[in-house]
């Protein structure tokens, strides 16, 4: 009789993600189709394994002042308390207050793709976010401080040799704090994460990167808490414009 094995379950999760990304990269010829397929792999992973309070989608992010982000490949947002998410055909628009994390999904990591991801992440972090006091039976809690929006880059492979080394670390350190990458996965080779205590990027090579990345993201989300209470009326002002 086949015995249950946690190590095999976790390895199987990674192997499935790596195989799907590899098939998309090797078999789909059109760049747009290839990109859509890769984004879909990561979105499927997050929607399948993140707690139900979270949802992942390709989307634009909007703030109450009417500013929009660039289109983001993977947005992790609040599913439980978000008052409105706009959906029209395949287009999704999410209020800035509802966002937990944003990722770009590309075929291979390189200095150019790191810079591209930083620009996309910046377009989200620059948006205005509201936060309101929280009423409860005994009174009102002060408005919750805004949580940091995690940013990252997801790829199948790397243009560097070695795949995760000093060139990657150097590329991650270039640019402003608004475009800072917190976390990323190179499914065929490893993953990286910013170590706040050491102000340094940790690079993890080998193993089962897709599964390790998922666990790391879940851990970060656990400590980030819940998104702030959104000022819906700030958005309603646009009804008269």
pLDDT in tens, 83-133: 788 888 778 999 999 999 999 999 999 999 999 999 999 999 999 999 988
State the angle between helix axes of 31-49 and 209-224 in degrees (0 to 180), rounded to the nearest 10.
Answer: 60
Which pairing describes strands 91-95 and 139-141: parallel, antiparallel, or unpaired?
unpaired
From 39, 78, 106, 220, active-site residue: 106
Per-residue pLDDT tens over the stretch 157-168 = 999 999 999 999
pLDDT band at 80 (very low <50, low <70, confident <90, very high): confident
Q: Is residue 239 in a domain?
A: no
In this predicted structure, the answer to whether residue 27 has a pLDDT above a threshold of 80 is no
In this predicted structure, the answer to whether residue 61 has a pLDDT above a threshold of 80 is yes
d(C-alpha 77, C-alpha 99), whole Å? 4
Q: Is residue 107 in a domain?
A: yes
In this predicted structure, the answer to whether residue 140 has a pLDDT above a threshold of 90 is no
Query: What percent of the chain lies above the pLDDT cut of 70?
Result: 95
Q: Is residue 109 in a domain?
A: yes
In this predicted structure, the answer to whether residue 241 has a pLDDT above a threshold of 80 is no
Q: Is residue 240 in a domain?
A: no
The H or E element that residue 12 is part of is helix 6-27
73 is catalytic: yes
According to the model, what pLDDT value does residue 85 have?
85
Q: Which residue has the tokens 């979270």?
A: 54
d(C-alpha 164, C-alpha 84), whole Å? 39
According to the model, what pLDDT value does residue 150 have?
97
Bond preceding residue 100 cis, omega within 30 of 0: no
Average pLDDT of the residues in 21-33: 72
Q: Which of 133, 124, 151 is nearest to 63 (CA)?
A: 124
Q: Is residue 1 in a domain?
A: no
Entry pTM: 0.91
According to the model, what pLDDT value does residue 32 have?
66
User: How many other CB atoms are there within 10 angstroms of residue 93's CB atom?
Assistant: 15
Q: Which of 198, 169, 190 is nearest to 181 (CA)?
A: 169
Q: What's the domain count of the chain?
A: 1
Tell me which residue range forms the domain holding 98.
Answer: 6-234
d(C-alpha 85, C-alpha 137), whole Å? 28
In this predicted structure, the answer to whether residue 228 has a pLDDT above a threshold of 90 is no
Q: Is residue 92 in a domain?
A: yes
* C-alpha distance from residue 204 to each of 165, 216, 219 (Å): 10, 12, 16
d(C-alpha 108, C-alpha 88), whole Å? 30
* Both tokens assigned to 96: 């800035």
Q: Judge whether 74 and 59 are in contact, CB under 8 Å.
A: no
104 is catalytic: yes
Q: Which of 162, 150, 146 is nearest to 196 (CA)?
A: 150
Per-residue pLDDT tens over the stretch 159-217 = 999 999 999 999 999 988 999 999 999 999 999 999 999 999 999 998 899 999 999 99
From 55, 104, 157, 220, active-site residue: 104
From 39, 63, 73, 78, active-site residue: 73
Query: What percent of the chain lies above the pLDDT cut of 90?
Result: 61
According to the model, what pLDDT value does residue 28 have?
66
d(C-alpha 42, C-alpha 156), whole Å? 10
170 is catalytic: no
d(C-alpha 71, C-alpha 25), whole Å? 21
């Amino acid at each position: 009789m086949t015995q249950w094995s946690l190590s095999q379950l976790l390895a199987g999760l990674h192997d499935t993600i790596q195989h799907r990304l590899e098939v998309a990269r090797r078999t789909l010829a059109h760049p747009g189709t290839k990109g859509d397929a890769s984004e879909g792999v990561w979105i499927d992973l997050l929607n399948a394994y993140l707690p139900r309070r979270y949802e992942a989608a390709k989307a634009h992010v909007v703030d109450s002042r009417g500013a929009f982000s660039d289109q983001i490949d993977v947005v992790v947002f609040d599913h439980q308390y978000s008052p409105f998410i706009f959906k029209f055909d395949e287009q999704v628009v999410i209020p800035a207050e509802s966002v937990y994390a944003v990722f770009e999904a590309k075929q291979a990591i390189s200095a150019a793709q790191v810079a591209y991801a930083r620009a996309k992440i910046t377009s989200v972090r620059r948006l205005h976010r509201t936060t309101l006091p929280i009423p409860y039976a005994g009174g009102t809690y002060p408005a919750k401080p805004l949580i940091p929006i995690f940013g990252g880059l997801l790829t199948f492979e790397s243009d560097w040799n070695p795949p995760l080394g000093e060139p990657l670390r150097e590329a991650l350190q270039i640019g402003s704090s608004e475009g800072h990458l917190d976390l990323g996965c190179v499914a065929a080779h490893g993953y990286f994460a910013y170590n706040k205590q050491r102000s340094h990027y940790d690079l993890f090579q080998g193993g089962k990167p897709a599964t390790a990345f998922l666990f790391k993201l879940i851990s970060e989300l656990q400590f980030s808490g819940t998104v702030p209470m959104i000022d819906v009326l700030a958005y309603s002002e646009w009804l008269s414009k």
